[in-house]
Structure 1
Amino acid sequence: MYYCPSCGEEYRPGIVACCVSCHVPLISGSEKLSQLTLEQGEFALRSMEILPEDELANIRKGTLSDMKHLRNVLARERIPALIAGDEAGCGRGCGGPEMFLRIKEKDVDAALAILAKDFIKSTALDSHDLSNAQAVFDQQAAETVCPACGCRFSPTVGACPECGLSFE
């Protein structure tokens, strides 16, 4: 079997040389296995302990529930994180205090990559069709393209008949 190193999709030998979705050259099963072994070795070496002498960096600011979610995402990848508040957080009245997600400075790059991957996964940003994103609604044209869905229609209508996006 062959695998896409980006998305992990499996392919039978001899069908294609690149991933259909990612357009990345495929790797063999033995290469995939060696990559997984290397990743698991790095994963096992990560310490979940934060020591007093560790330099910490704030990587996110938000509500307590958001910071707990992000801390759990990082913990699944064995990156330790602390949730900390500032001194002014307790006396602001309505609304919860703003919290900071703090991690070791040496883990910043890995943590940001993990959080970006989680954001893309949770918002499904990688599955959006952006082929019509550059389309502009032109009232003077005989026919225009909806930037949201790509439907072609007469600009006199004022709204896309396919998705309902309003242009008035």
Structure 2
Amino acid sequence: MGNLSTSLTSFSANNCKIKGRIPNGVGNLSSLLILEICRNNLAGSIPTSIGNLRNLQSFDLSENTLIGFIGDSLCKLQRLASLGNLKDLVVLDLSSNNLGGSLPPKIGNLKVATLMDLSMNQFSNGIPREIGGLQNLVHLSLRRNKLQGSIPNSMSNMVGLEFLDLSHNNISGIIP
């Protein structure tokens, strides 16, 4: 995959029965705007080289068997933190995988995002307050994770939000 043309702008391989890991070379596709590899059997973690795709607008790895990705160790945390480099990202769909650990504060760097679906994973701990900076976000689904704590007050700043699903978590406290 990393040997494809660097002028490639879209790569879609949905529902193709692809197995294995996402190659680290995907980060070489510097012109990529759309990366969609959903409904396959991708395993392992998301390579940190994804953070090199600075023009990426749509990133969909939903319905795979991805694991790890976020965890207590700095190395694993850095994988999602690299997504914070994707400042043009409009759509982020990592739903229906086995990704876990904490949602890092750098998720708040995705300022132009309008859709974020991280549902049906194993994310735990609290929702970072930095998520409230995503004022363009229209659709946010964090359902069916292991999130706990309260809804951050900063979420009241999410003026574009039309759809919010926090169901099937361990959220407590008042609604901001």
Verify same fold: TM over 0.5.
no
Which bin holds the TM-score, normalised by the shorter protein?
Answer: under 0.3
Rg comparison, structure with higher value:
1
Greater helix fraction, Structure 1 or Structure 2: 1
